[in-house]
Amino acid sequence: MKDVIYNEFNKANKLTFYNGDCSNLLKSLPDESVDLIITSPPYCMGKAYEDPHNDVATFRRQHESIFNDLYRVLKPGGSICWQVGYHVSERCVIPLDYIVYDIFIGKSSDKKYPLILRNRIVWTFGHGLNSSTRFSGRHEIILWFTKGDQYTFNLDNVRVPQKYPGKRSYKGPNAGKLSGNPLGKNPSDVWDIPNVKAKHVEKTNHPCQFPVAIPRRLICALTNKNGLVLDPFMGSGTTGLAAYIEGRRFVGSEIVKEYYDIATERLNDAINGDVKIREDKPVAEPAANTAVARLPEEFAKARSKNEETQSGG
């Protein structure tokens, strides 16, 4: 029997997709029922799926309005992973993770809401929009909070290959022995994962997708099999797809019908065995002898001319 996507939450559901405001979904969830919350909320910059009058104040109000329910539905020992970038205007750049931290930890300061920040993870990617008035943005932030001191962290599930697996200790009691973990190394708090652009295998019509590799890594590390994962701003269903692949239950909401339909289609493809994802593997540099890696002659001339200008020649 194939898995089914339900549109109303029931604890027996494997997959629940709610087409509507996340506030309504959150109020329908039982207390302490969710193991992990992963999301990337709207940045309130007037994107196609946002109110054109949105601003940073709107971003703050939206987060403050749902925090109590987010905290209520999260199990003790559960985790919240909030992936955000920057609110960019003609005037300035505002780091949205500062606002999220201020709200989530500020609410926790009276000990009524004991959230603890465990990591500020930098997600870096090599390609994106280029800027001529500032350095081009090539990273976003994932804030990982836990509800209390005891929490799930399955490091061995997310280890990555070492650059030098044959390296050995050169002194001390382990001198001469292999120095690394046989399962790989800790992926650290800087994750180099390509973003979803152009011909990326995961690309849909959603303008701001994040890659499946991000929630997969978080789900594997921070939950156990059959745990419940929540995404209140589901978008194209990336977190739901990651949860399904990793054998977890999922509940999410998306207010825009077009994106809700995309998410549903992606999960139905996965249910039918047609998963379109980029595996979580190190980014490979292009071979030196390929056409795209060779420096074009006109670029070489332009750089040479610029060097002369910089040196005063």
pLDDT band at 150 (very low <50, low <70, confident <90, very high): very high
- For 65-86, the pLDDT digits (tens) are 999 999 999 999 999 999 999 8
Q: In this structure, is residue 200 part of a structural domain?
A: yes
CB 226 within 8 A of CB 35: no
More confident residue, 101 or 295: 101
Percent of the chain with pLDDT strictly greater than 90: 57
CB 217 within 8 A of CB 144: no
More confident residue, 242 or 284: 242
Q: In this structure, is residue 11 part of a structural domain?
A: yes
Average pLDDT, stretch 26-33? 97
d(CA 148, CA 257): 36
Q: In this structure, is residue 184 part of a structural domain?
A: no
Q: In this structure, is residue 32 part of a structural domain?
A: yes
Strand order in the sheet with 15-19: 5-6, 15-19, 249-254, 228-231, 34-39, 74-84, 139-147, 115-124, 190-192
Tell me the two tokens of residue 9: 């939450």
d(CA 281, CA 217): 11
d(CA 216, CA 158): 9
Residues composing the chain: 313
If you search the block for the tokens 């509940």, which residue do you land on?
251
Tell me the two tokens of residue 151: 């929490």
DSSP states along 189-251 = SEEE-----TT-TT--S-TT---THHHHHHHHHH--TT-EEEESS-TTTHHHHHHHHTT-EEE
pLDDT band at 151 (very low <50, low <70, confident <90, very high): very high
CATH number of the domain residue 24 falls in: 3.40.50.150
Mean pLDDT of the chain, nearest integer: 86
- For 239-269, the pLDDT digits (tens) are 999 999 999 999 999 999 999 999 999 999 9
- Count the helices and strands in the chain (H runs, E runs): 7, 11
Whether the per-residue pLDDT at 181 is higher than 70: the answer is yes
Q: In this structure, is residue 266 part of a structural domain?
A: yes
If you search the block for the tokens 């200008």, which residue do you land on?
309
Tally of domains within the chain = 1
Q: In this structure, is residue 37 part of a structural domain?
A: yes
DSSP states along 62-84 = HHHHHHHHHHHHEEEEEEEEEEE
Q: In this structure, is residue 86 part of a structural domain?
A: yes
pLDDT of amino acid 113 = 64
Average pLDDT, stretch 97-115? 78
d(CA 175, CA 26): 54
- For 184-203, the pLDDT digits (tens) are 999 999 999 888 676 667 57
Q: In the chain, what is the straight-line distance between the N-terminal and C-terminal CA atoms, in Å? A: 75
Which domain, by its residues, includes 44? 5-151+189-287
Q: In this structure, is residue 60 part of a structural domain?
A: yes
Average pLDDT, stretch 144-172? 91
d(CA 127, CA 114): 37
More confident residue, 310 or 101: 101
Tell me the two tokens of residue 23: 């506030």
CB 118 within 8 A of CB 77: no
Nearest Cα neighbor of 141 from 159, 125, 123, 158 is 123
